[in-house]
Chain A
């Protein structure tokens, strides 16, 4: 158990809909990251927050957004869903925002199926 908690574990929704994925980081970790794992793209970094502020942005679509709240939990919002958004979405956390030797711990992921 990494200490990173994600909900829901599984989600099935229709195209055009909007969903919210939730993540609670490990106790004491200030950074939260979101990754998408799909068969064709592999593991792709989406976005990072540190202590409530956006720190880095990867391959995140404009239809997707995220935020980190004062209690450090994070939510990833996916809207106008398309079939291609079906994937495993990982949340991860780390103690600091970057630099040497920082270790990132992953949750078990949220499986999203768009039908």
Chain B
């Protein structure tokens, strides 16, 4: 079956540090890949997505590249802010069937001033 594995958190960084959150996946076919973010007390928001190999999704300074050879979709940001503190979820949608999402367990990011 499909699965998503994320690095365990929390990830603790100082403001302006470089961020990487690792995500690898197992899926049949050619899934679409997503990063969702959940700010404290809020729902899930789509952060970025990529639908085919070598695509790079980007938004709000975050980016992730769909690497089929390593089955990875690592999230990166060059300079984090305190306002980026949230839980980040990597997810995939199996395009061989219906577009239900399989999520990783989430990685909490804490950014201090």
Chain A positions within 8 Å of B, measured between CB atoms, are 2, 31, 33, 35, 42-43, 45, 48, 55-56, 58, 90, 92, 94, 96-109
Contact = CB atoms under 8 A, between A and B. Distances in A.
B100 A45 contact: yes
Nearest to A55: B98
Given A48-B100, A58-B100, A106-B46, 16 more contacts: A2-B43, A35-B101, A42-B106, A43-B103, A45-B101, A45-B102, A48-B98, A56-B97, A56-B98, A98-B97, A99-B98, A99-B99, A100-B95, A101-B95, A107-B43, A108-B42
What are the nearest 10 A-B pairs in CB distance?
Answer: A108-B43, A98-B98, A106-B44, A98-B99, A43-B103, A102-B99, A101-B51, A56-B98, A100-B95, A42-B105
Contacts, number: 67
Could you say which of A97, A103, A107 has the most chain B C-beta atoms within 10 Å of its C-beta? Answer: A103
A27 B47 CA distance: 20
Nearest to A46: B100
B32 A102 contact: yes
B25 interface: no
Where chain B touches its partner, the secondary structure class is strand
Contacts of B51: 100-101
Interface string B80-102: 00000000010001010111111
17 contacts: A2-B45, A31-B99, A56-B97, A56-B98, A90-B43, A90-B44, A92-B44, A94-B99, A96-B99, A97-B98, A98-B99, A100-B32, A101-B49, A101-B51, A102-B93, A104-B101, A109-B44
A97 B97 CA distance: 10
A10 to B, nearest CB: 11
A76 to B, nearest CB: 15
A54 B46 CA distance: 24
B62 interface: no
Nearest to B30: A100
A43 B106 CA distance: 9
A71 to B, nearest CB: 22
Contacts of B100: 33, 45, 48, 56, 58
